[in-house]
Amino acid sequence: MHTLLNYYRHSMRLDGFLEHWGGALLGLSLRIYLGWVFFKAGLTKIADWETTVSLFENEYQVPVLSPALAAALGTTGELVLPLFLWLGFLARPAAAGLFFVNLIAVISYSALFTFDCPAAINDHRYWGILLLVLVAFGPGRFSIDAMVVNRPRP
């Protein structure tokens, strides 16, 4: 019984370490990965702006917005919001914004649901879920947000 209690105590120390640092590393990893996914998409769009606007005119059916405005707003979101994610500055609003960009991409491109390979829609689902994790749990301790919240008050 004494040996079992020792194992339990060691396990609790590991739990404390994981609770203290695991979430921080997970948050940082998610911010880097998701930021890169969306930033890369934005870079692709600005590399050939005429094609991007053409896609928004002919392929993507963004509700309410004109194709040119939808292309500009979507691309801006994909290029600016990842910067906030990477820094961990206003990371929850940035993650929520990218969730919205991702949601609009799924809504406006109905062909995602008709591809033989479900990877395209699954990627959007995974990104959406991971972005919601950041919205719910925050960017973690390796972020400007955490430094601002945890700084000593004068």
Nearest Cα to Cα of residue 90 among 11, 29, 153, 143: 143
pTM of the predicted model, to two decimals? 0.85
The SS3 call for residue 10 is: helix
141 contacts: CB under 8 Å, gap ≥ 6: 23, 24, 27, 150
Segment 115-120 mean pLDDT = 68
Binning pLDDT at 50, 70 and 90, where does residue 117 land? low
Q: Which of 14, 142, 106 is nearest to 98 (CA)?
A: 106
For residues 11 and 9, give the distance between their C-alpha atoms in angstroms, rounded to a whole number. Answer: 5
- Report the percentage of the chain scoring pLDDT > 90: 56
34 pLDDT higher than 80: yes
Mean pLDDT comparison of 1-10, 20-29, 39-48, 99-108, highest-scoring range: 39-48
pLDDT of residue 78: 97
